[in-house]
Structure formats: structure tokens, C-alpha cells
Structure 1
């Protein structure tokens, strides 16, 4: 079929298999063009098919020659519907890993479920023995509790009072003012249940109980803090409360693992164009302003650059991993440079529909958004027929 982008708000409903594959290969090429790292040997990535999770798997495999298991919830093509971008990304990764002679396996299903945890542990025990790095990078708006069956849905809302600020329709470039009602107590509770640390804790508990972790195993989950512009709806809102729970979980897991030489970290990463971040009012406009300045200064990084730096400059170095006063790794250091943030704040105050394309990189934001789904990739003729049905090597 001829596959073109089809979007509905911040959701793209199609994905291009060749475009996704080319971008995965570009990330692999980036890692292979840099020095190999002394890092993990057997890696589990929970939430492995896009963004920072996919980059973590690529850096582990092609930067450290590690064997990997990726757990993710993505859908194959069916009828006139393409597969999800994560499916195509994972298919490309698995093919490249096989060609490189690396052990690599994919498990598709609900990472929150006891069934998928058990299936993953069985695979670890039979194929890899023990895991020395667990990356937790799950991004889901919904969670079914594996023990109680309660269904939780997350919301992106402020706490306490109505929040008003600028936002942008990144498809049209229209800058408007948005007012967001505060979350209820139950919405806050459900958001923490989805995006907090309970499931991460459950994964580590299950792996430890099954003796599937090495004594010195490391685990890391990803977070974002951002500037004051976004704090009301992000850092100080429902998502921030969930991430506070994630940080508490990291501290608990570190205490749990350190007796045998293990470690647990939160890595605070840079603002990123994702389907999730595109749904957060204010954030796409902030990212567009930020990216313009960082690209001009030569400090802009995508997922693969961030995670390669995380591994080589933080996690796997001689000596202790540098952390902030809360014990978090800060790979958002380039974004949060005070001089850069002062420039972003100046741009923010001046932004209107009339000047948004002059003062920000909104076109770049839009390109990156559709690039998540394999569109706009240089060298691909999107007018040609493409085969949407793609198999994943070593799918378990």
C-alpha cells in the first residue's frame, strides 16, 4: 500500500516501515561511529520500542555488545491499518542485532501484567541467565493493576488551581492561551498509579525473587523536570507528583540493591518530541523555542546522543556516578543551562501566531513529530508502495 501520514490531533495513526527502519539504522550508525563502552552484558529494557527506551537498547547492543530483551506493547499491521511505529522500530532493531551476532529477543504485551513479567523472567533464565541492567522506560496513559484488576487512567493537569499560559497547535502554528482545570484527588491518585514507580518496583522484586539479577545489577528509569515555564502543568502538576513517586521508588530500590553492589537511578533527560509530550499543553511551544536555540548553539541532542552520553559519562565510568542533591543523574544539563533558559524565557514572552515561525523551530518540531512515525525521512519516496506487514525476528 501507499503509506502517508494521517494525524488526529497529537496522534499519528499510520507509520512507515522503511522510514522507521532507516531511522533505527541511523541511531545504530551513530553508536558504532563512537568508541565502544565498557558497560552491561545482559540488558532488559521495559518499554523498548521508541524514544529513550529504544535508544537504551541500541546503545547497549551496539555500544557494549550486550545481549538484550525488549518488552513493549505494539501492534502488527492488520488489514488496511499499518503496524505501530514501535513495531517497525523493533523489527529493524532485531534484524540488525541478528546480523551483528547479538542475542536479542522481543516480548510484546502488557508490561504491567504479571503474565508478561513471568514470561520475561523465563526467557532470561533460559537464554541469558541473569540481567545486569534493567532500563524502565514505560510510557502509557493507562494501567490495569495486575493484582486488583483496577483500571487507572492518567491525566495531564495542574494541582490546586486553574493554569493559564500560551500553547501552540503545531500543525497550524496558531498560538493561543490555554486554561487547564486542576486535577481532582482521584485523578491525581490514578496518575501516580500509572506513571509512578509501583510497576518498576514490581519488576525488580520479581527479577530478584527469581534470581534473575546479577549481584551488581543497575536499574535506571527516566524522568523530566524542565524549566519554570512548564512547571505548573508538568513538574508541579499530576505528572510531577507521579515522578516524585518514581524518585522515591528509585531511592527504595537503591537501598534494596546496594547490599550486594547493585544500584538504582533516575536519569533526568532533555525535553523530547514524543507523542506523549505533544499532548501536554505548553510543552510543544517550549520545545520549539528551546530547539531553535540549541541547534544554533550546536548543543541539540536527540535520544541516541543523550543515552550514549548517559552510559559513557554517567553510568559506566570509573568511580561514583555523579548525581544531584536528590540523587538523580542530570543528562538535561545542556537544556537547563541558565543562560540558555534566560534566552528561552525572552522568546516566550514575545511569542505570537504572527512570529512563531521566526522565533522558534516549530517546523523542526513538526518534522520530528512525523519522523517518530517514519515520515519525512530523506531518501524515501513516499509515493511508492510499501509492505506494511513486517515480521519481528526472535519475537517470543
Structure 2
């Protein structure tokens, strides 16, 4: 079939196989030029796209790591394309295996115990143990089998209603968004879906199965942001889930007592678990959060003008080389590894805020990089690559 993007609000419901290959290839090209003195066996939980996929690419191509990747995506049929993550991981596997690396991709629901056991058995049969576990799961809801209950996350403020600017990405128009404050049940459900409970359960089961190597590390990613995003991000339901991630670090470090084999010179010596704070980028998750599309459009323009803009693969390579496997990363008072310093620089934030106050439908494309935002959004699903002929009939089952 001829595959054109079908965008509904903040999601694209189809994906282009060849474009997804191009999406992976661009990141592979960058990562292959880097050098990470990192792990040789890694498990990436949440490898569909964004920071999770970038982690898998960086670990394989810059550190030479064998990887097991967990993603949860629709598989292709004769009439429908697969989800982008399915094509992404198919392409990654091909490129990794061409380099002589082990690359196993499991399309399963990471929240479920049977999925965890399947992953554990795959590790035992292939790479035996893992030196790093990356947790990068972003899902709107979670089924808890022993409760036979679904939990759904919400994107709401806490304590008071919120009214602010956002952008209708379909129409390219500035509009006002109004959100009612979350109740306690909604807060609790959001923490259940997006907090640290599942990360901890993964580490517990991997540990009990004996597939965590001595000195194994684990990292989960988060976003903190600044004043413009706090009402809907930091001081909101998502923020409560992120605080739960912080608490989980201490619990994992208690669970995994290291044998002291790691060099005492490393800034991360003695710990097992970390939170990595990354910059705001266009991902399938951020596109769903009110305010963020407009903020990111403004941020992109300012950071590109100042020469400090980075994408997913650049951010991940930097946090791996300077933080998790290096000694040159900013660490905040909570012990988080920070590579969002360029976004939070005073000259960046002050200019974003100045433009935020002035932005209108008339000057949207002058003050922001909305076109760049839309381009990056479509590329998440394999669309908008210049070298791809989108008029050609293509088999939906092809991964390249």
C-alpha cells in the first residue's frame, strides 16, 4: 500500500517502514562515531522510540553492547502498518547483527509478570546476564493482573485548576487550555502507571533470577523543566509520579549491594540505581502533554539559535559518557544525573519566557520552531524523510 501519515491529535496511528529505518539509521550514524566505555550487555525496557530506542542504539553502536530490547507495539497486517517501534527495532536488530552483536527484541507488555519472565528466559539463553538495565517505559495505562484492574494516568494539575497556552498541532494555532485539578484517586493512578513501582519489580525479578551481573547499574529517565512547565509537569500528577521514581532509587540501591569492584574514582561508584534528567524533546509522550508542544517549539528555536540544541541520541550519548560511565556530569542535590543544563541555562529560559509572552498566531513561525516540532513529530513515525519516496507501494511487513 501507499503509506501516508494519519495524524489524530497528538498521535500518528500508522508508520512508514522505510522512514522508520531512516529514523534509526540517522541515530546509528551518530552513535557509531562516539565511544562509550560502558557495558557489554544491556537490557532496555521501553525501546520503541525516543530516549529508550536511542539508549539501545548508543549502547550497541558506541559501547559494543549486546542488547535485549522490550517494546510493546502493534504488529503489521496486510491492511495496517505496524507501530513505529516494531519497525524501529526490526531495523536496529538487522544493523546490530551486521556488527556481530546479539540483539533480541521482545514485543511484550513490560508491566506484566509473564513478560518479565519471558525476558529473563531470553537473557539466560542469549547474553546470560546484564550489566545495565535502562527503564524508559512511557504508557498511558497499566493493567495489574493480581488486582484484575486497569490504572490510567491523567495529565492534570494538583491543588488548583490550570489555564494556560498551548498549541493545536493539527491547525497550527495558539489556544487556551483549561484543566481541572486532579483528585486523589487520579493522582494515585498516575503514580501507579508512571511511578517507580514497575521499575522496582523488574529489578527484583531480574535480581532473584540471577541475571544481573556484579556491578550492574540501572537508570530511569525523567524530565523536570522550569517555570513554564511546572504547573502541568512538576507541580502536577506527572510530577508526583516522578517523585515516586526518586524514592525508588533508594529502594533499588538497598536491594543491590555492590561488591566494590567498581573504581572508587567514579562519581557513581557505590550506587546501583540512577535517575537521568533529560531535556524536553518531541517524543510520543511529550506530544500528549498540554503546554509542552508550544514550549518545545519555542525551546527548539532558541536553542538552535544559540547552538545548544540536542536530540535524543546526543542526549543519551552524553549522559552515558559523562555520567553513568564517566566523571563529568552535573549531579543535583537529589543525586540525579543531569544533562538538561543547556535547556535550563538562564539565557535560554529568559528568552523562551519572553517569546512565550509575545507568541500569537501571527508570529508563531517567527518566534518558534513549530515547523521543526512538526517535522520531528512525523519522523517519530517514519514520515518526512527527504530520501524516502512516499508515493511507492510498500509491503507493511517490511522493516526497511
Cα distance in 2 for residues equivalent to 1:146 and 1:265: 28
Partner of 1:9: 9
Structure 2 unaligned segments of length 5 or more: list them. 261-270
Q: Distance in 2 between matches of 1:13 and 1:205?
A: 35
Alignment of 1:88-99 (within 5 A): 88-99=87-98
Give the match for residue 285 of structure 2.
Answer: 276
2:264 alignment partner in structure 1: none
Q: Distance in 1 between matches of 2:368 and 2:291?
A: 13
Q: Report the counterpart of residue 325 of structure 1 in structure 2.
A: 333
Asked if 1:307 is matched to 2:306, the reply is no
Give the CA deviation at 1:208: 0.7
Distance 2:83 2:348 in 1: 36
Q: Secondary structure at the match of 2:146?
A: coil
1:383 counterpart residue number: 391
Residues in 2 aligned to 1:312 and 1:114: alpha-carbon distance in whole angstroms: 32
CA distance in structure 2 between the aligned counterparts of 1:260 and 1:114, rounded to whole angstroms? 28
Per-residue CA deviations over 1:307-331 (Å, capped at 9, x if unaligned) read 00011111112x5965210110111
**TM-score normalised per structure 2:** 0.95
Q: Against the structure 1 CA distance between its residues 268 and 88, is the aligned structure 2 distance closer, same or farther, given a 3 Å change threshold?
A: same
1:289 and 2:298 are equivalent in the alignment: yes
Partner residue, 1:23: 23
Contact 1:112–1:146 (8 Å) recurs in 2: no
Q: Deviations over 1:110-137 (max 9, x none)?
A: 1011101111111111211211100000
In structure 2, the residue corresponding to 1:147 is in which secondary structure?
helix
Q: Which residue of 2 aligns with 1:255?
A: 254
Cα distance in 1 between the residues matched to 2:22 and 2:288: 26
Contact 2:215/2:258 (CA < 8 Å) preserved in 1? no
Q: Report if the CA contact (8 A) 1:271-1:287 is conserved.
A: yes
* Separation (CA, whole Å) in 2 of partners of 1:307 and 1:274: 14
Partner of residue 178, structure 1: 177
Structure-2 separation of matches of 1:6 and 1:391: 19
Report the CA distance between 1:13 and its aligned residue.
1.0
Residues 61 and 68, structure 1, Cα contact 8 Å, conserved in 2: yes
Q: Contact 2:91–2:399 (CA<8 Å) still a contact in 1?
A: no
Q: What's 2:268 paired with?
A: none
TM normalised by structure 1 equals: 0.96
C-alpha spacing 1:66/1:259, structure 2 compared with 1 (3 Å): closer
- Contact kept? 2:322, 2:328, Cα under 8 Å: no
Q: 1:307 to 1:364 in 2, by over 3 A?
A: same
Contact 2:329 2:339 in 1 (8 A): no
Structure 1, residues 222-273: CA drift from partner, whole Å, max 9, x if none? 0001111111111110000000001110122123224434510000101011
Distance 2:336 2:152 in 1: 27
Structure 1 unaligned runs (5+)? Answer: none
Whether 2:340 is the aligned partner of 1:341: answer no
Aligned to 1:128: 127
- Superposed CA deviations along residues 161-208 of structure 1, whole A, max 9, x for unmatched, are 110111111222211111110111111110000000000000000011
Whether the aligned pair in 2 keeps the contact of 1:154 and 1:191 (CA below 8 Å) is yes
CA apart distance, 1:17: 0.4
